[in-house]
Amino acid sequence: MPSEIPKVIRIGAGSAWWGDRIEPAALNAERGELDYLCFETMAEATVSAAQVRARRDPSFPGFDTYLDDRMRAVLPACIRQGTRIISNQGWINPEGAARRIVELLQGMGHHGIKVAAVSGSLITERVLELTDRILENGEPTASLAPTLISAEVYLGAEPIVDALKAGAQIVITGRVADPSIFMAPMMFEFGWDPLDHDHLGQGNGIGHLMECGAQVTGGYFSDPGFKDVPEPWNLAFPIAEVQADGSAVITKVSGTGGTVSLQTVKEQMLYEVHDPANYLTPDVVVDFTTAQLEQIGPDRVRVWGIGGKPRTDTLKVSIGCIEGFIGEDMFFYAGPGAMRRAQLAKQVLEERFRIVGLKAEEIRIDFLGLNAIHGAATPANAPEPYEIAVRVAARTKTREEAVKVGREVDGMAVSGIAHTGKRVPHQDRTREVIGVWSSLVPRQHVPATIRYFES
């Protein structure tokens, strides 16, 4: 525990998902004057997808495939400036990720750096014993047994705090709830008790504002003429200046594009929040309805008053299952009459799928540029586009059936409609479908473990 409580700590975002940009993370590391740099790289299906890949490819290490790129970009500045790193890039192999970071540190000439790996979120072998019902449909979780790939619990901030207390400068985890990654430094630095739901509500609320990276600095926000964002190509990731009472200022590195405003903060505050009064996390139930916001300067929004309620007795479990395959491809029409040709092409494909006996649970033939997003809600009098992409997809139980989609789309090249534009299929047009279900497990049955490594 720090000898005295600091007045303010600066926590920066390093990523919002696996495929996020790396340059803003490097900028935060170099110019953010950070105490902590936090990376969130997991979506709902990340662990299941990693498990599928590990089954097929024994050489896959099981952690974030961009781990090397991210660490090479930020480690020099973080080590030089004493910035601690917290990240869930461990995916299904946190210890492997920690070892790899140690190798990178040693290669850079940095020795004596303590790296912690937090494990325990994977409960695939125990999930059917520890859970009862599927939240989405009320069916027994045992019904998922034949297709089960993986099950991971959303852990909270406590094991990260324990690792920080033990002197780790870098903490790598598996599945940890996104806001918890950002709140752990607050709990550690300010000495917040894990059951202090008043402080943890504010800390987790700030973590939620940070977890989606550039979304709070103008990313996924700009709508030209309505919501304009300066230099959207040059967005910075956010920085939270947090005080011991849980209040914070959301800001970014000066001189970068994007914006931090009341609008961007409010949009992110409500993003993926089903009930603003009861936002469930492993650490606390957050209440955003009491939040106060104030623009105190350019790209500086003060946030305070976020409420907190006692944490739940259970933790959410994300269960990944194999649910068949998708076959998908597309082709194109342009110029006058593009719409009528696309409509005839759809009819042709529907008939040919019947001829070849395609066994599909669902078939979609959409016209990109007309109805692919709104579907049946597309206005009947929508203007005819000048060019159309016809997207064809089918969900099947077997890969063999899914392959039929691409085969019939290939046939449109010379056995189709006039002016069909067909791309050459340089990649596999079938993919395995991973369904994600949810359940609850008593938190006492999911203890975290921490292992330490040193460069």
- One DSSP character per residue, 134-145 reads -TTT--BGGGGG
User: Given this model, what pLDDT does residue 116 score?
Assistant: 98
Count the alpha carbons within 13 Å of 276 in the hemisphere toward its beta carbon. Answer: 11
Cα radius of gyration (the chain): 24
**Residue (of 436, 71, 375, 11) closest to 208 by Cα position:** 11
pLDDT less than 50: residues of the chain:
none
User: Given this model, what pLDDT does residue 215 score?
Assistant: 96
Per domain, the residue ranges of the chain are 8-120+155-312, 319-437
Query: Considering the entire predicted model, what is its pTM?
Result: 0.93
User: Given this model, what pLDDT does residue 79 score?
Assistant: 98
User: Given this model, what pLDDT does residue 434 score?
Assistant: 87
Query: Does residue 127 contact residue 148 with C-beta atoms inside 8 Å?
Result: yes
Q: Cα separation of 93 and 63, whole Å?
A: 6
User: Given this model, what pLDDT does residue 1 score?
Assistant: 52
User: What are the residues facing 148 on neighbouring strands?
Assistant: 321
User: Given this model, what pLDDT does residue 136 score?
Assistant: 95
Cβ within 8 Å of residue 62, ≥6 positions away:
50, 54, 91, 92, 93, 96
User: What are the residues facing 435 on neighbouring strands?
Assistant: 321
Instruction: Please name the helix (run of DSSP H) or strand (run of DSSP E) that holds residue 118, with its range, or none.
Output: strand 114-119
Q: Does domain 319-437 have CATH number 3.40.630?
A: no
Structure tokens at 135: 């939240």
User: Given this model, what pLDDT does residue 51 score?
Assistant: 83
At 83-125, the pLDDT tens digits run 999 999 999 999 999 999 999 999 999 999 999 999 999 999 9
Angle at 136 between CA 135 and CA 138, to 5 degrees: 65
Sign of the C-alpha dihedral, residues 178, 212, 391, 343?
positive
User: Given this model, what pLDDT does residue 428 score?
Assistant: 85
Query: Does residue 288 contact residue 269 with C-beta atoms inside 8 Å?
Result: yes
Q: Cα separation of 221 and 76, whole Å?
A: 32
User: Given this model, what pLDDT does residue 248 score?
Assistant: 98
